[in-house]
Structure 1
Amino acid sequence: MISVTKLLFARDYFGDRLRYTKSAHTMRNGASEGVGPVVVWNSTKTCNLKCMHCYMKSDAKKYKDELTTDEAKKFIDDLAAFHVPVLLFSGGEPLIRPDFFELADYAAKAGVRPTLSTNGTLITKGVAQRIKDIGVGYVGISLDGLKDVNDKFRGAPGAYEKAMKGIENCVAVGQRVGLRFTINQHNARELDKIFDFIEAENINRVCFYHLVYSGRGEAMVHDDLTHEESRAAMDTIIRRTKDYEARGLKKEILTVDNHCDGIYMYLKAKEAGDDAAAEQIMKYLSMNGGNRSGIAFGEVDPLGYVHPDQFTQHHTFGNVRERAFGDIWQDVTNPIMAGLKDRKPLLKGRCAKCKWLDRCNGNFRTRAEAVTGDFWASDPACYLTDEEIGL
């Protein structure tokens, strides 16, 4: 995850305390000194929508053998013991779980900051208030375009209007809320409109995800942006973030799942002759160390299996029903887990030779494996030129 706001303006938000510290890039089992990884828990596979790029392949049906309430509380206890700072409740649609509020409250009281990733369609005024009262740190609502584009992605007419109501209800109770937007060929032209939208709706935050070819997203590899389109998208994100700052608007802008974004920001600052900005960007990239799936970020699926991240569920390290999460996370007998914690010697192709490897750490492994069949191959979504990476 790249905080565009942090790199450009040194603005401090909660997640920056985990991403940009002097110790972050040296960690092997957590986000920074003294804490474990941020954990996504896909708490259910059931969903009321059917998104075309869903990495979980979720559907509106009941799935068997998901963690029970008691098992989930034991899991949360284990996270607290391992000093996990944040638990992101995801899905499917996590609000479909009847015990969501009980478990989010349990996490908060255990000292693990609960956050929520949702499609927003189930957030009534009452739900928004309960989320706020529990102390959920952040609600991320997935929106992949404005009305027609979003509803096409979500596989459900009316999904946009319901998500909009969910956003409005969060804003009304003072709940911190943001958008999760996956950039691809179908919606890249709407980036400027999305920036207009979050300003008009008083939304605090937006995460622009790069497409990962996982789950139903495997079929969308040809819907990803070209390298030239990725650069143009980043130009828009940088331009609009700077515009917010110039007008005194405090919005947290992030990009996710493509760590060459940070290097691109550095190169653009150098190209513009802004050496001070370039130095600041490189300082934070050096602290962070690039992609940290399997290190500072992990995922647990609805059945309790542990994975490097939510897009890499085809590689499994253990089950929280059988062993504590912290024990699984530190066990390097699995070659993928061991490799993720020290991946540089294993990387191949452009990634292995890239002069920015210490700042990117090989980008996203699942995309490389989806295209080449090799987990350690170069990430095909890196849009930097050979000249820019020192080849």
Structure 2
Amino acid sequence: MFDDLDTDRRPLVLVWEVTRACGLACRHCRADAQPRRHPDELTTAEGKRLLEDAAEFGDGQLVVLSGGDPLARDDLTELVAHGDDLGLRMTITPSGTRSLTPERVRDLGDAGIARMALSLDGSTRERHDAFRGEESYADTVEAAHAARDAGIPLQVNTTVCADTVDDLPAIRDRVRELGAVLWSVFFLVPVGRGRVLDPVSPERAEDVMAWLHEVSDEERFGVKTTEAPFYRRVGIDRASDGEPDGAAKRRGGITAGRGFAFVSHTGEVYPSGFLPEPAGDVRERSVVDVYRNADLFESLRDPDGFSGKCGACEFRHVCGGSRSRAYAATGDPTGSDPLCPYVPEGYDGPLPERQRGETADGDRPEPAD
């Protein structure tokens, strides 16, 4: 549907953080979720107006309802149904809690949810719950089965950091067993509670990217990365004819502000939930106008204006680097992505701090079966 998407005009993904309330307090939470709803959250009427504005992007605009835990809102199915009536492709990323009962899952499906994404950060109960600091594995698996029974396609989201990277092959097996249609692999950005976790090294990240391309070739489910756009460069490098593989072609150039936008629970518009620099407010300005015309968004859609090695890289238009990670590392969203180990030929400018003098990460074993 979006192969020819004009990312200057519309995002591939529009995320609305409907609330920050959540029954969990996971160690890596971007949102630093809280037990109770914020009094200034967008109201039902304001949320419906946001969805009506989003429909102006065009037919089938993808909207992800995120949190916190979206199920903390008692108007959730009403909002889903309204978006579905507008022709939006409504999807959701609920928390793995006991509130996500089979009945709630069926209600979401009846209201028009087109896909459900659940987080799985360990291949076993012990690994998953230890990583998240919460007991959510059993509830997550139960919700995955409920989604299958309700006919809702399942996406599995997994965080990659030092604590989880060695478990990725076993998590891949769980993704297959759960019947997921997509595995979304998120490479840690140090924001929110995630600042206390250790990322993988750039070299290890490169190894994981190559392995994920192998997984994509072998599995029936799709694979995509989040906040790791150099996955597309790795795809180009591994293609014998120098052309991008399927993932690079389908997802080429989708980064914060360029094919992606985020609306907070109180209405601020950001290029990404991991890039907390506001560009507007939906209570004052249409999300369409912010996405298309805000200076910050326009700057993020101009890879030729990036600084450092990302700006000099020949892959800057198909990759572009994680703008969120650049911002987290330097305060400059147009700077270099410190996770990418690639240095363009002939580039002699400054390198991100983590790459200076960095070589191997021990033996850096790749995830393997």
TM-score (norm 2): 0.87
| Unmatched tracts of structure 1, length 5 or more | 1-16, 32-36, 245-249
CA displacement 1:5-45 (0-9 Å, x = unmatched): xxxxxxxxxxxx22x32xx3x541314xxxxx531000001
Equivalent of residue 58 in structure 1, options 25, 28, 33: 33
Structure 2 counterpart SS, 1:114: strand
Establish whether residue 320 from structure 1 lines up as the match of residue 320 from structure 2. Answer: no
Structure 1 counterpart SS, 2:41: coil
Equivalent of residue 30 in structure 1, options 2, 6, 10: 10
Shift in Å, 1:292:
3.6
Equivalent of residue 205 in structure 2, options 203, 225, 230: 230
Q: Which has the higher contact order (CA 8 A, sep 6+)?
A: 1
Structure 2 counterpart SS, 1:58: coil
Residues 103 and 184 of structure 1, relative CA distance in 2, 3 Å threshold? same
Measure, in 1, the Cα distance between the counterparts of 2:262 and 2:137: 27
Equivalent of residue 338 in structure 1, options 298, 301, 310: 298
Indicate if the aligned counterparts of 1:140 and 1:178 stay in contact, CA closer than 8 A: yes
Measure, in 2, the Cα distance between the counterparts of 1:339 and 1:375: 9
Equivalent of residue 94 in structure 1, options 70, 85, 93: 70
Structure 2 counterpart SS, 1:140: strand
Shift in Å, 1:185:
0.5
Establish whether residue 360 from structure 1 lines up as the match of residue 315 from structure 2. Answer: no
Measure, in 2, the Cα distance between the counterparts of 1:284 and 1:204: 14
**One-letter identity of the residue aligned with 2:166:** R
Aligned to 2:243: 279
**One-letter identity of the residue aligned with 1:87:** V
Measure, in 2, the Cα distance between the counterparts of 1:360 and 1:390: 20
Structure 2 counterpart SS, 1:309: coil
**1:235-274 matched pairs, under 5 angstroms:** 235-244=210-219, 250-269=220-239, 274=240
Measure, in 2, the Cα distance between the counterparts of 1:369 and 1:280: 27
Indicate if the aligned counterparts of 1:367 and 1:379 stay in contact, CA closer than 8 A: yes
Indicate if the aligned counterparts of 1:205 and 1:251 stay in contact, CA closer than 8 A: yes
* Range 336-345 or range 71-80, more displaced: 336-345
Aligned to 1:6: none
Measure, in 1, the Cα distance between the counterparts of 2:348 and 2:251: 21
Shift in Å, 1:288:
5.2
* Range 38-47 or range 127-136, more displaced: 127-136
Residues 292 and 205 of structure 1, relative CA distance in 2, 3 Å threshold? closer
**One-letter identity of the residue aligned with 1:236:** W
TM-score (norm 1): 0.82
Q: How many aligned positions are there?
A: 346
Residues 197 and 284 of structure 1, relative CA distance in 2, 3 Å threshold? closer
Indicate if the aligned counterparts of 2:187 and 2:228 stay in contact, CA closer than 8 A: yes
Aligned to 2:129: 151
C-alpha root-mean-square deviation of aligned residues, in Å?
2.3
Measure, in 2, the Cα distance between the counterparts of 1:62 and 1:156: 20
Residues 372 and 265 of structure 1, relative CA distance in 2, 3 Å threshold? same
Aligned to 1:73: 48
Equivalent of residue 131 in structure 1, options 88, 108, 111: 108
Q: How many percent of aligned residue pairs carry the same amino acid?
A: 27
Aligned to 1:295: 258
Shift in Å, 1:103:
0.3
CA displacement 1:85-107 (0-9 Å, x = unmatched): 01110000001111111100110
Indicate if the aligned counterparts of 1:29 and 1:295 stay in contact, CA closer than 8 A: no
Measure, in 1, the Cα distance between the counterparts of 2:248 and 2:237: 13
Establish whether residue 371 from structure 1 lines up as the match of residue 317 from structure 2. Answer: no
Measure, in 2, the Cα distance between the counterparts of 1:193 and 1:286: 28
Aligned to 2:162: 185
Establish whether residue 329 from structure 1 lines up as the match of residue 291 from structure 2. Answer: yes
Structure 2 counterpart SS, 1:39: strand
Indicate if the aligned counterparts of 1:115 and 1:136 stay in contact, CA closer than 8 A: yes
Shift in Å, 1:120:
3.0
Structure 2 counterpart SS, 1:92: coil
**One-letter identity of the residue aligned with 2:92:** L
Shift in Å, 1:351:
0.9
Aligned to 2:352: none
Indicate if the aligned counterparts of 2:48 and 2:79 stay in contact, CA closer than 8 A: yes
Shift in Å, 1:251:
1.1
Establish whether residue 166 from structure 1 lines up as the match of residue 143 from structure 2. Answer: yes
Structure 1 counterpart SS, 2:64: strand
Shift in Å, 1:148:
1.9
Aligned to 1:11: none
Structure 2 counterpart SS, 1:118: coil
Measure, in 2, the Cα distance between the counterparts of 1:288 and 1:155: 32
Aligned to 1:247: none
Measure, in 2, the Cα distance between the counterparts of 1:118 and 1:50: 14
Measure, in 2, the Cα distance between the counterparts of 1:179 and 1:234: 17
Structure 1 counterpart SS, 2:158: strand
Equivalent of residue 110 in structure 1, options 67, 83, 86: 86
| Unmatched tracts of structure 2, length 5 or more | 350-369
Residues 289 and 280 of structure 1, relative CA distance in 2, 3 Å threshold? closer
